Amino acid sequence: MSSVHTRAPGKINVCLFVGATRPSDGRHELVSVMQAVDLCDEVWVEDADADALVCPRVSGENIVTAALARFRARSGRSEPVAITIAKAIPVAAGMAGGSADAGAVLRLLDEHCGTGLGDDVLRELAAGLGADVPAQVRPGRYLALGAGERVAARRQPRPYGVVVLPHPEPLSTPAVYREFDRLRLARPATELAALAARVQVTADDLPDALVVNDLEPAAISLCPPVGRNLERLRSAGADLVLVSGSGPTTLGLTRDLDAAVDVAARLGPEAIATRVWDPDRSS
């Protein structure tokens, strides 16, 4: 039976600046640099007698099913496939694990079915699935603007380490944005535009002052242990600390993988040491 496979890396928001909601669709304007990291799910697509999705640790609705439906509607292909996902990215952790899987499935379906849609069309399909998905069609480093749907590839940064500190209580992204709005944390449009200009110039290697996540206060408000985990990472020796996406996972950035391994060892078995994703190791 024909089978194709890829690794689906999680991503971190190295910066996430958030403005007000757009009148057109109610989504928040943002400026973000998204970086894929070498903490990956494994995804397979293969021929089957009937559609099947095997994804242990994930129940209920799965964005991968929607990705398959959008691919079929665009490509006209309908042959049954079996999709298998082995999870390593923490679930509901602000690392876009579901988006990573959806992006991987889109590019695998294009390969498996020989449709040759290409990345531009796949990103168009991905944009209808969620703000994080277009950048996961071909993982790397991206500048994201608008509500996250406008993405531009950037040069890979120099290698550095990342310590991932999950938290067992999930945080709903919509709930974090509602709390963000309740706290009135949205940046004015002029300030967000100025930050966008600075980030566009420095996106390949952000200065420390721009490694900021505007959703952090809202995540901490809903889940106070997030704040304590940031302090744990800082005390363990991380050079920079921030919340991953909408949380509850927290991150420590270090100068290299060895330093990340040391920080993770001080934190205990729940901490995961990884590094910036290398696109050459995509399968």
Return the DSSP state at 24.
Answer: T
Structure confidence by residue, pLDDT tens digits, 77-114: 999 999 999 999 988 778 889 999 999 999 999 999 99
Range of the domain at 38: 3-281
Given a cut of 90, whether residue 57 has pLDDT beyond it is no
pLDDT of residue 53: 93
pLDDT at 12: 94
Where are the strands (E) in 48-182, listed by range?
52-54, 81-86, 141-145, 150-154, 161-165
Question: What residues are designated binding site?
Answer: 90-100
Q: Evaluate if residue 282 carries a pLDDT over 60.
A: no
| pLDDT > 70: percent of the chain | 97
Give me 161's structure tokens: 């380490």
pTM: predicted TM-score of the whole model, two decimal places: 0.89
How far is the C-alpha of 160 from the C-alpha of 14, rounded, in Å? 12
Q: What is the pLDDT of residue 281?
A: 60
Number of domains in the chain: 1
More confident: 168 or 219: 219
CATH code assigned at 265: 3.30.230.10
Residues flagged as binding site for ATP? 90-100
> Taking a C-beta distance cutoff of 8 angstroms, is the pair 212, 15 a contact?
yes
Q: Active-site residue numbers?
A: 11, 132
Among the listed residues 1, 6, 113, the one whose alpha carbon sits nearest the alpha carbon of residue 48 = 1
